A = this chain, B = another copy of it.
């Protein structure tokens, strides 16, 4: 069972392409540092992707790039601060990403990893829980299957709360990670004045029933000049909420819906996939019909993004190809969360 070679290799000798410094360094030189936009986030709750403007997105990405490329400069500015990591809806990936970000900034953590043994299960109100948490910590990350929980807590909170996913509504920090991944990949395409030819996005999914897609589209509004078209790939005939499409169009995004996956793929620069779908009272898997693997007719320069965890829609055969940008996207999620936490608690590096 032992494979001797693997056990005598020093693990840090493995190739670290994902962590390579070049991409985030390019971002550092592409964006001029300006902390003023981030000051507007100090002590604010972060509930919706609607809250961010373009300057904040650029400066958060820049700060994330500093954390990624200059870890030796990170002090422990959150020493003595307590994160309440409240995952009433379990999510190891999002929870550990936030907790890792908080720990790297030096803070302590108290975790709630599921709802079954909590007051919520016994009928306690979210407002009463929020009142309690006011006294216990310095910031809350909340994940909950109900879209309204975060708003009920907000009514009584005196400490900041960050929405870590609320039902099928939003997942704003995942969208920040998506934007950071896009900016790292190709800063020049997204930033004027002389940015490159506009990009064609394909989003496989249903914007009205996927919180990651909903939040990402809200952020992409700020990069409309860089986007030639967003193609929503789905066989759902009505994939938008009321006003959702109008709002996005009003921001300058050209959006088209199709189910002709094979025809669209070769023309896309960015393909965004997702595995799960809100179905009213829980999640179902999505995307079995629209699968990507290493044989997919992708442009040679195209990248694939996915919030992970993946289902069968994203073949591991893509992992070793240049289309794999989802690992870099996941890797950057910790740094962009560090940037957001630093802004909200005003402990900029």
> Bound complex: CA of A3 vs CA of B148, how far in Å?
12
Assess the A309–B135 pair: CB atoms within 8 A: no
Answer whether residue A200 sits at the interface, using C-beta atoms and an 8 A cutoff: no
Assess the A82–B103 pair: CB atoms within 8 A: yes
> Distance in Å from the Cβ of A326 to the closest Cβ of chain B?
10
Assess the B111–A114 pair: CB atoms within 8 A: no
> Bound complex: CA of A345 vs CA of B45, how far in Å?
37
Residues of chain B contacted by A124 (CB below 8 angstroms): 309-310
> Bound complex: CA of A84 vs CA of B154, how far in Å?
31
Answer whether residue A96 sits at the interface, using C-beta atoms and an 8 A cutoff: yes
Residues of chain B contacted by A100 (CB below 8 angstroms): 82, 110, 135-137
Q: Which residue of B lies closest to A84 (CB)?
A: B96
Residues of chain B contacted by A8 (CB below 8 angstroms): 44
Answer whether residue A299 sits at the interface, using C-beta atoms and an 8 A cutoff: no
If A1-B147, A11-B160, A104-B80 touch, whether A309 touches B96 (CB-CB below 8 Å) is: no
Residues of chain B contacted by A2 (CB below 8 angstroms): 47-48, 50-51
> Distance in Å from the Cβ of A5 to the closest Cβ of chain B?
11
Q: How many copies does the complex hold?
A: 3
Assess the B132–A10 pair: CB atoms within 8 A: no
Residue in B114, B119, B308 whose CB lies within 8 Å of A132: B308
If A92-B117, A308-B132, A309-B128 touch, whether A6 touches B154 (CB-CB below 8 Å) is: yes
Q: Which of A4-51 contact B (CB under 8 A)?
A: 6-12, 14, 16, 42-45, 47-48, 50-51
Residues of chain B contacted by A334 (CB below 8 angstroms): 135-136
Residue in B97, B122, B160 whose CB lies within 8 Å of A309: B122
Answer whether residue A151 sits at the interface, using C-beta atoms and an 8 A cutoff: yes
If A44-B8, A169-B1 touch, whether A118 touches B136 (CB-CB below 8 Å) is: no
> Distance in Å from the Cβ of A133 to the closest Cβ of chain B?
8
Residues of chain B contacted by A43 (CB below 8 angstroms): 10-12
Answer whether residue A149 sits at the interface, using C-beta atoms and an 8 A cutoff: no
Chain A to chain B: the 5 pairs with minimum beta-carbon distance, closest first: A90-B117, A100-B136, A103-B108, A10-B43, A124-B309
> A96-B110, A113-B113 known; 18 other A-B pairs, CB under 8 Å?
A1-B151, A1-B169, A3-B151, A7-B44, A7-B45, A10-B43, A11-B45, A12-B43, A16-B158, A90-B118, A92-B112, A96-B132, A96-B133, A100-B110, A100-B135, A108-B109, A113-B117, A136-B334
